[in-house]
Structure 1
Amino acid sequence: MHLGKAIRLERIFNRNTGRTIIVPLDHGVTVGPIPGLVDLRTTVGKIAEGGANAVVMHKGLARCGHRGEGSDVGLIIHLSASTSISPYPNAKTLVGSVEDAIKLGADAVSVHVNLGDETEKDMLRDLGLMASRANEWGMPLLAMVYARGPKVRDEYDMDVVCHCARVGEELGADVVKVPYTGDVDSFSRVVEACCIPVVIAGGAKLDNGRDLVQMVHDAVEAGGAGLSVGRNVFQHDNPSLLIKTLNQVVHNDMEIDDAMEMLDQG
């Protein structure tokens, strides 16, 4: 592996566990300035204080989240986007470059692909091109791959998620983010079919903290490399405490009841 890539990966992964806690903050392009993303410096501060490994944001947001003080946190610049008000919300287009990320001091870049969408071929092309470009610069690439389209009956189906993870792996990503399939046995099949780290997405806002802790615990037990969860973290009443708790689950294999006791005591 390119030495620069190895060094950057160690900034967004815990080098002792090989796992990571990533908090995406790129939702503003998709759905606007939702709660938790208005005062970005405060949100990033809470995330860093909790001990997250990295955040994801678009290139123009980096200036709004840079604090110049407090705990450090890895930076992943997201290179693709679409909006919820578009007639084609699942059609992601490139809006940045690897060079943009390098100039911002980023530790990695990310690209989003929705398999099954009518524009899938364009997104696959973009992922392949960005993988090649990122590799030239020694820049890690996170591929966010989901199945969303007219032929997709269940985006959480094990075979579908396995396909998503395999696309990210085969087109050159260093890390792939996919939906959680719902149980340890099925997600272990996803991990087994992929030779790069697999992290889970958070999906829609969950009803309670235990659901999130359970999902993360089970994903790690299945061999997953951690999480890349946005709204369920930055819209939590106490993001710092939640991340500290998830740190214990992801990096120290804390059991669910102990994690909930830690979270409830906050």
Structure 2
Amino acid sequence: MQIGKSIRLERIFNRQTGRTIIVPMDHGVTVGPIDGLVDMRETVNHVAAGGANAVLMQKGLIRCGHRGGGKDIGLICHLSASTSLSPFPNAKCLVGTVEDAICLGADAISLHINLGDESERDMLRDLGYVTTQASRYGIPVLAMMYGRGPKIENSFDPAVVAHCARAGVELGADVVKVPYTGDIESFARVVESCCVPVVIAGGEKMESTRELVQMVHDSVLAGGRGLSIGRNIFQADDPLRLVRALRGLVHEEWEVAQAMEYMATGEEA
């Protein structure tokens, strides 16, 4: 691996654990200015103070989230988009370049790919093109890989998730993000099929904090290298405390009970 890429990966991954906590904030293009993504500096401050390793956002939002102070945090620039207003919301297109991300000071870039969508070939072409360009500059690429389309009955099916993860790896991604398959054994098989770090997505807003904590704990136990979770973090009642609990799970080998006790009391065992 190029030394530049290695250095940048160390800015978004914990050097000691080889794991990461990424908080995506790219939802505004898709669904508008939802709760938690209005005052961007405040949101970034909360997740940085809690111990997140990186935030992820579209190129135009980076200026809104730049604080000029506070705890440092890695930056991932997202390069693809679509909106919920479109008749084809799963068809992502490129809206930025590797050069854009470099100029903005990003440590890595990301793209969203929906396998199974009618526009799959365009998204795969974009991923292949961007990973080639990024490699020239030593910029890591995070590929968000989902199975969404007419032929896919269950996006969480372990076979579908494994296919998505492997496609990201084979087209040059340095990190792949996929949904959690629901149990340790099946997710371990997803991880085993990849030679790059696999992190889990958060998906829709969850019913309870315990559900999120359990999922993160189990994914790490299965060999996952952390998480890339947005609204379940930045829309939490106390994002700083939640990120601190997740940091315990991802980087400090906490058990579920420890994390839940911390969420209840704010005190570490």
- Band of TM-score, shorter chain: over 0.9
Distance 1:207 1:182 in 2: 15
Task: Report SS of the residue matched to 2:233.
Answer: helix
- 1:147-191 Cα deviation digits (max 9, x unpaired): 000000100000000000000100000000000000000000000
TM-score, normalised to structure 2, is 0.98
1:253 is displaced (CA, Å) by 1.0
Q: Does the residue aligned with 1:237 lie in a helix, a strand or coil?
A: coil
One-letter identity of the residue aligned with 1:21: I
How many aligned positions are there?
Answer: 266
The one-letter code of the counterpart of 2:174 is D
Q: CA deviation at 1:208?
A: 1.0
Tell me the SS of whatever aligns to 1:83. coil
**SS of structure 1 residue aligned to 2:16:** coil
**Residue type of the alignment partner of 2:149:** G
- Aligned partner of 1:40 in structure 2 is 40
Question: 1:81 aligns to what?
Answer: 81
CA RMSD across the alignment: 0.4
2:250 corresponding residue in structure 1: 250
Hey, what does 1:213 align to over in structure 2? 213
CA drift of 1:252 comes to 1.0
**1:162-173 counterparts in 2 under 5 A?**
162-173=162-173
Write the mapping of 1:157-196 to structure 2, written as runs, cut at 5 A: 157-196=157-196
Task: Measure, in 1, the Cα distance between the counterparts of 2:252 and 2:68.
Answer: 29
1:115 match: 115
Deviation at 1:218, TM superposition (A): 0.2
Amino acid at match of 2:112: H
Q: Tell me the residue number matched to 2:154.
A: 154
Paired with 1:207 and 1:154, the residues of 2 have a C-alpha distance of 20
Alignment correspondent of 2:259: 259
Amino acid at match of 1:82: S
Partner Cα separation in structure 2 for residue 155 and residue 80 of structure 1: 20
SS at match of 2:223: coil
Q: Show the counterpart of 2:102.
A: 102
Question: Could you tell me which amino acid in structure 1 is paired with residue 49 of structure 2?
Answer: E
What SS class does the counterpart of residue 122 from structure 1 fall into?
helix
Match of 2:62 in 1: 62
TM-score (norm. length: structure 1)? 1.00
Query: Distance in 1 between the 2:213 and 2:195 partners?
Result: 25
Q: What is the one-letter code of the residue matched to 1:112?
A: H
Look up the equivalent residue of 1:178 and give its one-letter code. V
Q: Secondary structure at the match of 1:16?
A: coil
Can you list the C-alpha shifts for 1:104-144, whole angstroms capped at 9, x where unaligned?
A: 10000001100000000000000000000000000000000
Is 1:129 the counterpart of 2:129 in the alignment?
yes
Structure 1 gaps of 5+ residues are: none
Q: Tell me which residue corresponds to 2:19.
A: 19
CA distance in 2, matches of 1:215, 1:253: 14
Counterpart of 1:141 in structure 2 is: 141
Q: Give distance in 2, aligned partners of 1:241 and 1:136.
A: 39
**Runs of 4+ in structure 1 over 2 Å off:** none
2:50 is matched with 50
